Amino acid sequence: MKSWAVLCLITGFLTGASASEPYPVKPLRLLVPFASGSGVDALALVLSKKLSEKLGQPVLVENRPGAGGVIAATQVARAAPDGYTLLLATSATHSLGPATNPKLTFKVAADFTPVIELATAPHMFLVPQVSPAKSIRELVDLARKKPGQLNYASSGQGSISHLTVEYFLATTGTEMHHIPYRSSENAAGDVISGQLDLMVDSLVTGLPQVKAGRLRALGLTSLTPSAMAPGVPVLSNDLPGFESSTLYGLYGPKGLPEAITQKLNQAVNAVLLEKDIKNSLTQLGAEATGGTPQALAQRVKNDTDKWSKVMRDRRIVID
C-alpha cells in the first residue's frame, strides 16, 4: 500500500510539473496549405513574425500546398497536441471541403482544436458593363425573364464562387448555366467581353476590374458594407441573411490543452489589432475578425451546414 501511495504521489507530482511547464519553450510550426508567394502565405509570414514577438519563440511558416489544402490539414490533424504544430486554415479546408468532399482524410470537429478566427473576406457579384442589370434586384428580374439562359462563371467546381452563385439561385428561385474555369482570372475576360453574364470574385481581383470600368459590381456577399469597396451595397439588403465569405482560421490538433489554446488565442487577438496585420489582410480583401475558439467552431459549423444544404438542394455532384 505504501509503495502504491508513493507511486501515486510521484505520478501526481510529475503530471503537475508537466502541466505547469511554460509554453512555448521551442519554435512553433505554422503550416500553410498554399504555395509560397500566395496571398495566404503573405498573411502567414506577417502573422508568424508578430506571434513570435508575443510568444518569445520563433514561429516558422511551412508551405504544404496540394489537394485543396488536404495535405497540410492532414499533417496537422495527425500532429502531437502540444501547441507546436498549427494550421492556417481556410474555408477550402474546413467548411467547403467537408461539404463537397465526403472522402476527406480528416473530420474538422473530431481532429482539430479551434484557436481563433483570423479574418473573413467577402466576395463581389460582378457583371459586364453591357449587362442590363444595374442592381441585384435587376439581376434577379433578368434571370426570371430568361430562365436558364444566363451563364455564370466560377473558378471551378466546388469553389466558393461556384457555390455562392448556386446559393443565390436557390435563394431567389432562379436558374443559370454554370461555366467552370480554372481560375477567376481566366473567367474574367469572358465576363468583361459580355460572353458570360455573371461571376463572383474576391475583392482583390474583382475590385481593380470595377475601378477600371471593365466590370460592374452589383453587391457584396457580406452582411455589412466593406470599407474596402465604398459605395458597393450588400446583397443582404435585398436578400435578408444572404452571406458568403472566405474564412481564415488558426487550428491545432485535437486535444490541444485549454491553457495553450487560450494563450494562443489571446496572443493572436492582440496581433490582429496591429497595423501590419491589417495591411496584409487588406491585400487578401479581408478584415480581421478575432474572437473565441468557440466562435470559430460555430462559424465553421454554420458554413459547412450551409454549403452542404446548397449541395443537396441544388443536386450538385463534384467529380
- What pLDDT sits at residue 284? 87
- What pLDDT sits at residue 20? 58
| For residues 132-161, average pLDDT | 96
122-244 belongs to which homologous superfamily? Answer: Periplasmic binding protein-like II (3.40.190.10)
Evaluate if residue 13 carries a pLDDT over 60: no
Calpha distance 67→286 (Å, rounded): 24
| For residues 114-118, average pLDDT | 98
- What pLDDT sits at residue 42? 87
Domain positions in the chain are: 27-121+245-312, 122-244
Residue pair 233/125 in contact (Cβ under 8 Å)? The answer is no
Average pLDDT, the chain: 92
| For residues 149-178, average pLDDT | 97
List the single range of 6-10, 35-39, 228-232, 238-242 with lowest mean pLDDT: 6-10
| For residues 77-81, average pLDDT | 98
Evaluate if residue 155 carries a pLDDT over 70: yes
| For residues 139-161, average pLDDT | 96
Which of 42, 33, 48 minimizes the C-alpha distance to 264?
A: 48
- What pLDDT sits at residue 16? 37
Evaluate if residue 1 carries a pLDDT over 50: no
Which of 242, 237, 226 minimizes the C-alpha distance to 286?
A: 226
pTM, to two decimals:
0.89
- Strand extents, DSSP E, the chain: 28-32, 59-63, 85-90, 112-128, 151-154, 177-180, 198-202, 215-220, 245-253, 287-288
pLDDT tens-digit readout, 205-239: 999 999 999 999 999 999 999 999 999 999 999 99
- Distances from the Cα of 181 to the Cα of 2, 159, 301, angstroms: 73, 10, 28
- What pLDDT sits at residue 183? 87
Calpha distance 238→160 (Å, rounded): 21
- What pLDDT sits at residue 246? 95
The fraction of the chain above a pLDDT of 90, given in percent, is 82
Evaluate if residue 106 carries a pLDDT over 90: yes
| For residues 106-131, average pLDDT | 97
| For residues 81-85, average pLDDT | 98
27-121+245-312 belongs to which homologous superfamily? Answer: Bordetella uptake gene, domain 1 (3.40.190.150)
> 27-121+245-312 and 122-244 share one CATH topology?
yes
Query: What is the residue whose three cell numbers read 455564370?
Result: 152
Residue pair 103/59 in contact (Cβ under 8 Å)? The answer is no
Evaluate if residue 18 carries a pLDDT over 50: no
